[in-house]
Amino acid sequence: MKKRDLIDIRDFTEDEIYRILEKAKFFKFQRKKGNIPSDTLKGNCIGLLFRKPSSRTRVSFEVAIIELGGSPIFLESSHLQISRGETIQDTAKIFNLYLKGLVIRTFEQSEVETFAKYFDYPVINALTDFSHPCQILADFFTIWEIKKSFNDIVITYIGDANNICNTLILAADILGVRINVSAPEQYSVSDKIINSMKNPELLKVSKDPYAFIHNSSVIYTDTWVSMGDDAEKKQRFEIFKPYQVNSQLLEKAPHDFLFMHCLPAHRGQEVTDEVIDGKNSVVLQQAENRLHIQKAILWFLYEIKGQKEV
């Protein structure tokens, strides 16, 4: 059976996403009961190749792999020969000899795609500059868990239309969820994303941070300066100041909106304390759900798609 990867959220169909959400719900329920054992990854070593710093992604993936019976091996890229010029193709072929899966957190989307081409086992994108499918699956799981369905859900993203925004849009497109983006023109949604949508009518875009607040089920923001963008920090701060999610911005929001942030948050920049610590904030639930959704992703790629070691 052909292996499956998670390189882009579009690697999963709508039906497959719902299966993963249901399995994440099951894993979360069982863990709260103290019933953790699973042998989905029994006997399998999974490599975590990270070129970017990580707290939630690394810890949640290591715990997920262990709780599914596998063994995570953290691969610091600066300690590998790939940092001295060994090709991805050669590295992937060597990893085939030792590992049964790869979780990759890096800059270029093409790097994850190349690993997937030459590595014989599942490859999971744990963040690139273009995409963050594991985070967004956890976010949609959080919305589904609280709101019970995606019917009539409207997501509004405010700020830099970065990898998080890209993946939110593409996931919303798959699931039929309306999504709005408020962003400065030079940091708004790319034509590449818009042109790839099957249902572009689901997306609305504005330069006005207040444009969509009044009917938003979810209000989502992220850092103004992503990893690798430090050279633009001063310029970005000036441009994004009007897009801070604060109590003034939220005055006309529905009383039951959810505030979301993928974390880490830069308090006092893209969001204020009273919002991220407020009653509508679900950021900790999002973070917890990374564990459950990643277990469900691993279950799907290994159990359902026949990658389990025998």
pLDDT (average), residues 182-210 = 98
pLDDT at residue 214 tops 90: yes
Provide mean pLDDT across the span 184-199: 98
Which CATH number is correct for 135-287, 3.40.50.620, 3.30.420.40, 3.40.50.1970, 3.40.50.1370?
3.40.50.1370
Arithmetic mean of pLDDT, 164-175: 99
CATH code assigned to 9-131+289-304: 3.40.50.1370
SS3 for 242-255 is HHCECCCHHHHCCC
* pLDDT value of residue 229: 66
- The closest of 148, 200, 144, 211 to 170, measured between CA atoms, is 200
Whole-number CA gyration radius for the chain:
19
pTM for the full model?
Answer: 0.95
Whether the per-residue pLDDT at 53 is higher than 60: the answer is yes
Say if residue 309's pLDDT is above 50.
Answer: no
How confident is the model at residue 308, as a pLDDT?
53
pLDDT at position 193 is 98
- Looking at residue 310, its pLDDT comes to 32
Q: Cα-Cα-Cα-Cα dihedral of 299, 303, 307, 310, to 10°?
A: 120
The ranges assigned to domains in the chain are 9-131+289-304, 135-287
Domains 9-131+289-304 and 135-287 belong to one CATH topology: yes
184 pLDDT tier (thresholds 50, 70, 90): very high
Each residue of 234-272: pLDDT tens digit?
899 999 999 999 999 999 999 999 999 999 999 999 999
Instruction: Decide: 155 and 220 in contact? Cβ < 8 Å.
Output: yes
Q: Is 40 helix (H, G, I), strand (E, B) or coil?
A: coil
